[in-house]
Structure 1
Amino acid sequence: MNIFIREAVADDIGTIHAFILALADYERLAHEVKGDRATLERHLFGPRPMAEVLIAEHEDKAIGFALFFHNFSTFEARPGIYLEDLFVLPEARGVGAGKALLARLARLTIERDCARLEWSVLDWNEPAIAVYRAIGAKPMDDWTIQRLDGDALAALAQSA
């Protein structure tokens, strides 16, 4: 299958939002989606974009996406790329779109002189984990993701 990877543009916002909703459904997290198209568009394509998106296409149809942003490694003293979301439509899985998106991200990581490409995966998502192992990704077993949001985030902010 011939997969074409391109950078998303503002006109893709509906497609990106639909992919996010489909991903949330797949991950059994649809109840956690709070973002709407307008907020997403402001943060992806507004005056200060906070993330970037790649779109995977086959025969001029969007079949997947990758949303990513830069982070920074103090130990490396270099930026990195963090892949927030990678999703391929169920009917298009197994044809290489996910790997093509990851390969493009790897190339961007190198072109931008970044030290690494990182992401998280749900521990039950065996098909994705198998793909990641096949391309050489390693789990960071000594690290646990921490999150501060909602009331706890507001309380800490008020304590400053």
Structure 2
Amino acid sequence: MSHTEELLAQIDAAVNDWTVSGDAMRCRPTAEPSPVPAVPVVRFTGRDRARAALVSRLVDRGLEPAAAHAAVRAAENGEPTEHAQLVAAEARAAVGETVQQLGEVMRAFARALHPIAEAAAAVMRQLDEALRSASHTTGRGRHRDRPAWQSPYGPPARRKR
């Protein structure tokens, strides 16, 4: 695009841009495409990965890959097939194994955090003891010769006789 055509395109954009008001001469430059895609490119989504794992388990049980794909798709859509019970059983087994693995990970995580929690509790006990001992040594407290709402800097209230 030549310089003249570029200027004419900017003028056209400014004349036809009514986003602010009817008399505004503002030009918005065209946005350049972002080099990074908006959505990261992944091979599988969660549903696709679960479907592929279930198909793999069914193939390990002796089904043909095409029949396993068809059975999983049919079960996903709620359609009855001859392999519906096998698909359901494999899905339950896969969920059970995943829950068991997740439980092991959570137990290991809790074991790893236990020393940290004990150390934090010991530090909090020390802080509590330090704060309690500091509050006994200051000797400052509420003045008994004036009400709590009265300024400690003003004169004390006069006593009635």
Give TM-score scaled by structure 1 length: 0.20
Higher Rg of the two aligned structures: 2
- The structure that is strand-richer by fraction is 1
More helix by share: 2
* Structure showing greater relative contact order (alpha-carbon pairs closer than 8 Å, 6 or more residues apart): 1
